[in-house]
Structure 1
Amino acid sequence: MFGTRRTGLRATLFAVPLVLAVLGSAAAPAGAAPRTVTSLTCRGQGVDPDARVRYRTEAVVHASLNTVWKVQTDVARWPSWQGAVTSAERLDHGPFRTGSAFHWTTPVPPNPATPATSLDITSTVQQVRHGSCIRWTGPATGEGLHIDGVHVWNFTKVRGGVLVRTEETHTGPQVDADVPAATEILRTGLDAWLRDLKNAAEARTADHRS
């Protein structure tokens, strides 16, 4: 994901402790040991373990696994349901598989290290298990900005739908220069992506029932 909606970063963001910004989860109760969160994986491979900018989130989508999978992997249609994706195209043909590559663009708001820009991204699927998980990697470049990203998605059937979990890491000189700001941008983008995926898959399910 390198996606984010156009939004300014508030000055208060820079005071957010990194431990909260990174995982976006509630702190452990007073006196309790810090909670260990295992990174998501696909076929045994996960996000960059050394990355300082990372975020993970999840949601239950009330749709079939087949519907969620089709919406997520039909890359060319991303702009039709993702507000933050301005263009997207597959660079190969056929089933979504290991080695599949795609080029897409998304805006990024200004921050202390770089101006507002549009990220030009080429992602390559490194691991995939149909209906279960995806892991892709790739560079993203914009004005004064270069990011290397690793993105993992997990899909699990649950009662009433699909639990979708996602985790992403970013590395690069500009994002490493201000980890809290870069993490907030990543958090905003991943939360929006998951929300849009949920809305698109559930809307398709409702259309099929009507």
Structure 2
Amino acid sequence: MSGTRSTGVRAALVTVPLVLGLLGAAAAPAGAATSRHDTSLTCRGAGVDPGAKVRYRTEALIHAPLRTVWKLQTDIARWPVWQAPVRSAERLDHGPLHRGSVFHWTTPLPPNPATTATELDITSTVRQMRPGSCVRWTGPADAEGLHIDGVHVWNFTAVDGGVLVRTEETHTGPQVDANVPAATAILRQGLDGWLHDLKTIAEARARQQRN
């Protein structure tokens, strides 16, 4: 389940999904999507939280070179350029993204009964990574009265015509565990939206590179 200001806690959760759902954003389909698979995605042998009740997995074929897709996804500081739900994003270390990298990001939090806060703070830590192939980050997202722990895995595979991007995420926490169907729907909206935005910007960049 995505700057370094006041950091709630959150090392890898994709909280964009949470916010998109709270906003009621209708994310465009990014490709074949489902929340249940026989096996979970992994990166260097590590996957999502096997005990989480809230989980979602989806994928999309992106018609762009692998290097373009990978650079967009791992250039954290530029996420706000192509992801409207990301208000700020900042690496807390330097150089190419690597195992142990930490990044802080924020996203607007619309009115909801769990909190009076207007922004969600996320601090993500990369736990596993294989450049050009996969990345896994973990951690929590926080606002006053709201806490979610998440694990997010991304896989990238070069195929004929582009890159197959697959992603899976789990959420745990009092608020999401209290209403698993609603929390899963929120997560689905967020991940589908993220993939849609990544596909849109990557394919636009690929067209520019060809011209």
TM-score, length-scaled by structure 2: 0.83
Letter in 2 for 1:86: R
1:29 maps to none
Check the 8 A contact 2:62/2:203 in 1, yes or no. Answer: yes
Check the 8 A contact 1:115/1:143 in 2, yes or no. Answer: yes
Secondary structure at the aligned position of 1:76 is classed as helix
2 CA distance for matches of 1:58 and 1:100?
Answer: 25
Check the 8 A contact 2:104/2:123 in 1, yes or no. Answer: yes
Structure 1 residues 1-210: aligned runs within 5 Å: 1-3=14-16, 4-5=19-20, 7-8=23-24, 25=34, 36-109=37-110, 113=114, 117-210=118-211
1:21 maps to none
Question: Which fold has the larger relative contact order, with Cα–Cα distance below 8 Å and residues 6 or more apart in sequence?
Answer: 2
1 CA distance for matches of 2:49 and 2:183?
Answer: 16
Deviation at 1:109, TM superposition (A): 4.7
Structure 1 spans left out of the alignment, 5+ residues:
10-23, 27-34
Structure 1 stretches of 4+ with a deviation exceeding 6 A read none
Check the 8 A contact 1:111/1:181 in 2, yes or no. Answer: no
Check the 8 A contact 2:34/2:56 in 1, yes or no. Answer: no
TM-score, length-scaled by structure 1: 0.83
Fraction of identical pairs, as percent: 72
Structure 2 spans left out of the alignment, 5+ residues:
1-13, 26-32
Higher CA-based Rg = 1
The alignment's C-alpha RMSD in Å is 2.1
Letter in 2 for 1:160: G
Aligned residues: 189
**Distance change in 2, residues 1:166/1:187 (3 Å):** same
Deviation digits for residues 7-60 of structure 1 (CA, Å, limit 9, x no counterpart): 339xxxxxxxxxxxxxx639xxxxxxxx85210000000000000111111000
